[in-house]
Amino acid sequence: MTSDVLVAEDVAVHYGGIKAVDGIDLTLTPGRICGLLGPNGSGKSTLLAAITRLVPLTRGRLLLDGKEYHRAAPASLAKRGVARTFQTVRLLPDLTVLENVQVGADLHGRKAGGAAEAIERTGIGDVVSAWPGELSYGMARRVEIARALAMRPRLLLLDEPTAGMNQAERKEISALLRDLREEGLAQLLVEHDVQMMVDTCDDLVAMNFGAVVARGTPHEVVQNAAVREAYLGKRGRAHA
Ligand SMILES: Nc1ncnc2c1ncn2[C@@H]1O[C@H](COP(=O)(O)OP(=O)(O)OP(=O)(O)O)[C@@H](O)[C@H]1O
């Protein structure tokens, strides 16, 4: 038996000649936040899509609780405790915020009991009766996180959850993710905000051209010469 929730071994996703992801190893464990860093087009979203079975693997293995699942249907993952948010807001426009959160829970085989707690934790209590179209972008992102949490997942995958949020809002989300970590949730976080990643993550994996260029503690990774060259550029050196 393994305590790892998710293991990805040599995962590759090729689109014709484009090697969007090309040989990634990744382990996600309870109570740890793993951050995925990399420039636009480096393969982060494709890796999340592979892990959640939205794109087929060209190569490699995926294991949940030690069992291969790389042919499982995407919907079956939710039932096994895997929740995710998407890079772009994907709320159902004809349902209220509350209904969106509840449907998220129900669809995935969880009772709505998780919805109330998720609403409180994400700070969206004031907008539960609103329609998604009435929400600010930052608020819509919170609703997405609430919908994912309403499933009471064991593994949460977040694709740029704080995009469009201001600094104060980002800090709130970071604090929420760290609280969830203390409760034992395994998390994979994709973000471009390097400072947030350093403040939030236990482990960082830096990607470029579909491959890992560095991994380790956040400080090790942001100090890494290849990462600075590929991703941080002048911005990174300015923080040195
Ligand atoms: N469906 C697809 N068909 C063909 N190429 C794709 C497809 N999806 C992604 N790609 C390509 O794969 C590469 C990786 O894209 P991906 O979106 O995974 O990167 P990313 O790191 O998530 O970027 P961003 O930070 O902009 O979200 C890019 O070159 C992209 O153009």
Is a pLDDT exceeding 60 seen at residue 198? Answer: yes
* pLDDT tens digits for range 71-99: 889 888 988 999 999 888 889 999 999 99
Q: What is the mean pLDDT of residues 99-118?
A: 76
5-15 mean pLDDT: 97
pTM: 0.90
Cα 121 to ligand 1 centroid, rounded to whole Å: 32
Residue with tokens 């294991």: 63
In short, whether 20's Cβ falls inside 6 Å of ligand 1 is yes
Q: Report how far ligand 1's centroid is from the alpha carbon of 24 (Å).
A: 15
Mutate which of 11, 14, 18, 189 to test ligand 1's pocket (most atoms within 8 Å of Cβ)?
18
Percent of the chain scoring above 90 in pLDDT: 70
Residue 87: count of CB within 10 angstroms of its CB? 14
Mean pLDDT, rounded, for 189-209: 94
Q: How far away, in angstroms, is 8 Cα from ligand 1 center? A: 19
Q: Is 54 exposed, middle or buried (0-12, 13-18, 19+ CB in 10 A)?
A: middle
In the reported structure, the alpha carbon of residue 15 is separated from the centroid of ligand 1 by a whole-number distance in angstroms of 9
Binding site membership of 43 for ligand 1 (Cβ less than 6 Å): yes
Q: State the Cα–Cα distance between residues 53 and 74, nearest whole angstrom.
A: 5
Q: Which two tokens stand for residue 120?
A: 């409180």
**Ligand 1 pocket, residue 108 CB under 6 Å:** no
Task: Provide the mean pLDDT of the chain.
Answer: 90
Helix (H) or strand (E) holding 37: strand 33-37
Contact 178, 33 (CB under 8 A): yes
Q: What is the ipTM metric for this complex?
A: 0.95
Tens digit of pLDDT for each residue in 178-197? 999 999 999 999 998 899 99
Q: Which residue has the tokens 């995958």?
A: 157
Residue 94, both tokens: 């004809």
Burial tier of 116 (Cβ tally within 10 Å: 0-12, 13-18, 19+):
middle
Concatenated DSSP letters of 54-90: SS--SEEEEEETTEE-TTS-HHHHHHTTEEEE-SS--
Q: Round to whole Å and give the CA distance between 111 and 107.
A: 9
Which of 46, 54, 208, 231, when mutated, tests ligand 1's pocket best, judged by the most ligand atoms within 8 Å of its CB? 46
Lowest mean pLDDT among 21-30, 110-119, 202-211: 110-119
| AA letter at 141 | R
Q: How confident is the model at residue 240 (pLDDT cuts 50, 70, 90)?
A: very low
Q: Which residue has the higher pLDDT, 106 or 214?
A: 214
Could you tell me the distance, in angstroms and rounded to a whole number, from the CA of residue 96 to the centre of ligand 1? 31
Taking only the tens place, the pLDDT of each residue in 123-172 is 999 999 999 999 988 899 999 999 999 988 999 999 999 988 889 999 99
- State which H helix or E strand residue 181 sits in: helix 167-182
